[in-house]
Amino acid sequence: MDFDYNPSELMAAAGAREIKDREVVAVGLGLPVVASFLAKQTHAPNMTMLFELGVIDPEPVHAGVGLADPRVWHRAKVLSSFVDILGSILHKGRVDVGFLGGLETDQYGNLNTTLVGDPRGKFRHMVGSGGANDIASSAKRTIIIMRHDARKLKKTISFVTSPGYVTGGDSRAKAGMSGGPSRVITDKAIFGFHPETKQMMVISIHPGNTIEDVVGTMGFAPVVPKKVPFTEPPEKEQLRIIREVIDPRKMYMG
């Protein structure tokens, strides 16, 4: 097997490392699925995985074409409903991690999955919230994973589907929400959030990139510490599991 890795595999491995054993994780579509299954099959076997439509801890027989694909539900511990996942579990504060993708995010981790606009005032509607707003509002912490592009990492996003730190500082707490985004993982870097201002802050840059590559392809200026390490590459066993077990048909990894 070739153990060189692509950016998607690095993003999935980095996302998996953010999940701890025994945590309850609400999983969104796309790379969050790969990262969550990778964590469960490596260092976090006792994590609980929730899909918003009512599925808990499945053992898929296929990567599927979305979370509503029954092949992804195989041997699930629970087959229930949106109401049970979002109401009985998430809104009661039982979810440790919300793991989401998105179209756009800003410097405070506010996330857009609803529509994209252009300077001419034209908008294109996308998939919308689903359970993303509930997850971002109620999980103890949120991980966002998305491609690195100035059109996606924007100073002002077209629509706030899921709240991050709203306008920074303690504005999330003032709005009555706990938790908030803890990491943004892109194909160039990993970001956290400044403990006081809640602005996005560079945690590490991926091998092969420079800090100029990272900051120069963003629509806002993140906080940059004096020393920024490189992101740890995927391990060989992580790559094997991604390629041979989780997504052999490259439904998510492309």
SS3 string of 184-243? EECCCEEEEECCCCCCEEEEEECCCCCHHHHHCCCCCCCECCCCCCECCCCCHHHHHHHH
Active site residues: 52
**Buried b / exposed e across 229-250, counting CB within 10 Å, b at 16+?**
eebebbeeebbebbbeebbeee
Non-local CB neighbours of 7 within 8 Å, separated by 6+ positions: 187, 188, 206
Quick one: pLDDT band at residue 238, thresholds 50, 70, 90?
A: very high
Q: What value does the mean pLDDT take over residues 144-169?
A: 94
Identify the burial level of 1 via C-beta atoms within 10 angstroms of its C-beta, where 0-12 means exposed, 13-18 middle and 19 or more buried.
exposed
Residue with tokens 């405070």: 108
Quick one: pLDDT band at residue 47, thresholds 50, 70, 90?
A: very high
Q: What is the pLDDT of residues 67-117, one digit of tens each?
A: 788 888 989 999 998 889 988 899 999 999 999 988 999 999 999 999 887
pTM of the model: 0.93
Alpha-helix residue ranges (DSSP H) falling in 2-47: 7-17, 31-40
Query: Would you say domain 7-246 falls under CATH 1.10.760.10?
Result: no
- Percent of the chain's residues with pLDDT above 70: 98
Q: What is the pLDDT of residues 172-191, one digit of tens each?
A: 999 989 899 999 999 999 99
> What span, in angstroms and rounded, lies between the C-alpha atoms of 148 and 222?
13
First vs last C-alpha separation in the chain: 17
pLDDT at 206 over 50: yes
180 strand-pairing partners: none
* Domain residue extents for the chain: 7-246
Whether the Cβ atoms of residue 184 and residue 162 lie closer than 8 Å to each other: no
Quick one: pLDDT band at residue 1, thresholds 50, 70, 90?
A: very low
> What span, in angstroms and rounded, lies between the C-alpha atoms of 185 and 15?
7
More confident call, 117 vs 37: 37
CB atoms within 10 A of CB 173: 13
